Amino acid sequence: MRTSYLHRFLGTKNYRRTILRFCRAIKTSGLKFDAIAYRGQSGALIAAPVALLLKKHLILVRKEDEYSHSSYGVEGCAKNFCRYIIVDDLISSGETVQNIHSAVADKLHFPDLVAVFVCYSNPADIRYAIANYEWDFPIHCLSQRRIYRQRKNRTR
């Protein structure tokens, strides 16, 4: 069975390439961070091997309605004051990234989200999410090889 977009990134031939592209994009960004946060199955498929290759901790953020043996909504090895990134398959509305960001902020003392890395997204969706949530961290979109940032208000 194929999905509309995941087969391009997680298919047998492309999965290894996707993981290596994430690692390369993260390394070349020059960002300093301690952990990788993710949510859901598609996030786990990317975050776990990337964290293993980059020797970073994982932060799992469960969905509110997710049934699990654990009662914790956020789990992982990250410590207070950690710097972290989020990895995901795509940004549609920005709600997943916002929920991960909020959940980590509620559980850790002074976490610092330094960037988000996604496989694929429509540029308009990313711009909408950045403006809607007023994000001040960059969004790295691998399929477009582009980094999106909040536009600064210019005064004359």
Kindly report, residue by residue over 74-111, the tens digit of the pLDDT.
888 878 889 999 999 888 899 999 999 999 999 988 99
Crossing angle, helix 95-107 and helix 123-133, to 10 degrees? 40
At the top level of CATH, the class of 6-148 is alpha beta
Sign of CA dihedral 95, 85, 60, 54: positive
How far apart, in whole angstroms, are the C-alpha atoms of residue 77 and residue 122? Answer: 32
DSSP letter (8 states) at residue 86: E
Q: Where are the domains of the chain?
A: 6-148
Three-state secondary-structure class, residue 51: helix
DSSP letter (8 states) at residue 153: P
How far apart, in whole angstroms, are the C-alpha atoms of residue 88 and residue 97? Answer: 8
**pLDDT tens digits, 25-81:** 999 999 999 999 999 888 999 999 999 999 999 999 988 776 666 666 788 887 888
Report the pLDDT value the prediction gives residue 53, as an integer from 0 to 100: 98
Report the pLDDT value the prediction gives residue 155, as an integer from 0 to 100: 46
Q: Which pTM does this prediction carry?
A: 0.88
How far apart, in whole angstroms, are the C-alpha atoms of residue 74 and residue 68? Answer: 12
